[in-house]
Structure 1
Amino acid sequence: MASKLILDALDLKILKIIQGNGQKKLKEIASQVNLSLSPTHDRIRKLEKDGYIMSYVGLLNRKMLDLGLLVHCQVTLEKQNRKNFKEFEQAIQAFPEVLSCHLVSGNFDYYLMVVSSDVESYNRFYQEKLAVLPTVAHINSLFVMDEIKQSTELPIP
């Protein structure tokens, strides 16, 4: 990542537009920020180069893909040392069921968000992948009953 760019109001507006719809055409973005195509394009490329725009993705409906069960897992390691953290983090990278994994402070070490088709398939993931990791001491699974808010958009001022 290059040096941190100082963002102006136009950059922030461009970021808001892109995070709301990553497929928006350059012409539409330029029109919305009241700039011509070339400077708009240059600003977007600079935002990408400087790491403000990490990637462009499509958000899928997990329920339509038979991944309707969302589980939050609190994972505690056997011992909190650099070797165990590294080993656990490397193993988690290989599990497509894990949407996110965060090292946290508090009563447990990692907070995971896991998707599955149902309780039985989650149980298989739990027993065959997560619980058998040698560094794992305890897992607390929280089954999501209903999603009240879900967003990928950051609160850009």
Structure 2
Amino acid sequence: MKLDTADRDILRLLQTNSQLTMKELSEQVNLSITPIHERIRKLEKSGHIDRYVALLNRKKMGKALLVYCNVTLDKQRRESFEEFNEAVKRMPEVMECCVVSGNFDYLLKVVAEDMEDYNNFYQQNLSVLQSVQHISSFFVMSEIKSTTQLPV
């Protein structure tokens, strides 16, 4: 599906506020409600719209500490990667996990209440995995930009 200007406008608006009504979208995109509804259904069906979520304020939810972790596995074997991948999927503290190229294997984005909470997570969940050889933790002092909006 090729996106036209109206599709891109709809996506921009929904990224800003996914609770906009069809009427509000139609007014801002200059299309009637029926075409807006049809376009959104097509964008959902094609996978351009993956899902709708509520973004919570992590600090108000008691997760004030943001940590990035570089993780290196002991062996570059499929079993090690599979073990680590499955374990991380079960850790609610891990917000993002990416396999990366370079001097380490994974980059994790982790939230915690405070340093003590992170230390417990580190010692009880992350460092106990047999495949983990090394972990480097970087504590975020200030967030300059944090967004979920993709450029459209």
State the TM-score, normalizing by the size of structure 2: 0.98
Q: Report the residue type matching 1:131 in the other structure.
A: S
Question: What are the within-5 Å matches in structure 2 for residues 29-108 of structure 1?
Answer: 29-108=25-104
Shift of 1:7: 0.6
The runs of 4+ residues in structure 1 deviating greater than 4 Å are none
Q: What is the aligned counterpart of 2:134 among 119, 138, 144?
A: 138
Unaligned runs of 5+ in 2: none
1:23 to 10, 19, 33: 19
Quote how far apart the aligned CAs of 1:86 are. 1.2
The number of residue pairs the alignment matches comes to 152
Q: Deviations over 1:103-147 (max 9, x none)?
A: 000000000000000000100000000000111100000000011
Alpha-carbon distance in 2 for matches of 1:97, 1:146: 19
Whole-Å separation in 2 of the counterparts to 1:125 and 1:87: 18
Q: Tell me the amino acid that sits aligned with residue 74 of structure 1.
A: N
SS of 2:138's partner is strand
Q: CA deviation at 1:153?
A: 0.6
Shift of 1:155: 1.3
Deviation of the 1:84 alpha carbon: 1.2
Query: Displacement of 1:64 after TM fit?
Result: 1.0
Task: Name the SS for the 1:142 alignment partner.
Answer: strand
Measure how far apart 1:98 and its partner are. Answer: 0.2
Q: Which runs of 5+ in 1 are unaligned?
A: none
Deviation digits for residues 32-85 of structure 1 (CA, Å, limit 9, x no counterpart):
111111111010011001111111111111111110000000000011122211
| RMSD of aligned alpha carbons | 0.7
Could you tell me how far apart the structure 1 residues matched to 2:128 and 2:38 are? 49
Q: Distance in 2 between matches of 1:36 and 1:80?
A: 55
The residue identity in structure 2 corresponding to 1:37 is I
Q: Percent of counterpart pairs with the same letter?
A: 55
